[in-house]
Structure 1
Amino acid sequence: MATADSYGPVHTAGNAVPPLDDDLAGALEDLAGVHEGIDLIRDGIRLLALTRHTADETQTLLATLAGSAGADVITAIGHLVARLANADHNPALRTLPLDAQKATQRHGEQAAFHLNNPDLHQPASEASAAITGT
């Protein structure tokens, strides 16, 4: 039976998780300081991006992040957008004129609808499935 040692060292510079690319690093930087909850999300994204994962973990993460419409992070964000845009759930909006409350709610619901569209989740789902060839 082969062991990790029979394949040579696995903790080499060429086997290291690379640093964040400019696009992801820039997106995370742009979100800095908005709210403590957003900072936690930023920290989670950074942790996920810079952690070494197995193929199984990667498959699960792809599905959990965006590849399982109705049960992934994108879906949760869509529901959160709708909630934050609804004066019934967000007391900060109750001081707005009724027209503005309704417009805000409608746009939040539209955002949730689009973020929950199965077509949006399909590529991440296919990336997840491609790992095992299913």
Structure 2
Amino acid sequence: MATADPYGPVHTAGNAVPPLDTDLAGALDDLAGIHPGIDLICDGFRHLALDRHTPDTTQTLLATLAGSAGADVITVVAHLVARLANADLNPALRSLPLDTQKEAQRHGEQAAFHLNDPALHQPASEASASVTGT
């Protein structure tokens, strides 16, 4: 004889994780096939978007993705952009003219500077804090 689920009916239409919205799905689709690393990142983002979360994991993910300047995914992207744009760290750029190398490096550094701006991370940090009520 089956016993009733003490947590109630969690497998109902109201508890289903919705499919990706068109903006997120389109952005992920636009990045498909560029590089295997980008495909893995997109697979991870898709998994995060479609997985079932608790309030605690939601709070942690909001902070980890973009709400903890210096220690979040946006910070990693900032540092990676700066690295890829620097001929000293990316040998693929070393065959370019020196002025082109320096221009790429300058733009990479500017991108990292802006992506690391604490104001960029503040809304996600506040979203994270609002989940926990702090």
Identity level (%):
82
1:123 matched residue in structure 2: 123
Q: Deviations over 1:88-114 (max 9, x none)?
A: 000000000000000000000000000
- Offset of residue 7 of structure 1: 6.0
Question: Over aligned residues, Cα RMSD in angstroms?
Answer: 1.2
In 2, Cα distance between the equivalents of 1:73 and 1:104?
Answer: 22
2:25 matched residue in structure 1: 25
1:107 matched residue in structure 2: 107
2:94 matched residue in structure 1: 94
Q: Per the alignment, in what secondary structure is the counterpart of residue 80 of structure 1? A: helix
What are the ranges of 5 or more consecutive residues in structure 1 without an aligned counterpart? Answer: none
The TM-score with structure 1 as length reference comes to 0.95
Give, as a single letter, the amino acid of the residue that structure 2 aligns with 1:98: L
Note if 1:11 corresponds to 2:22.
no
1:52 matched residue in structure 2: 52
Q: Deviations over 1:65-97 (max 9, x none)?
A: 000000000000000000000000000000000
User: Which deviates more, 9-18 or 100-109?
Assistant: 9-18
In 1, Cα distance between the equivalents of 2:7 and 2:74?
Answer: 39
In 2, Cα distance between the equivalents of 1:45 and 1:132?
Answer: 23
The TM-score with structure 2 as length reference comes to 0.95
- Offset of residue 133 of structure 1: 1.1
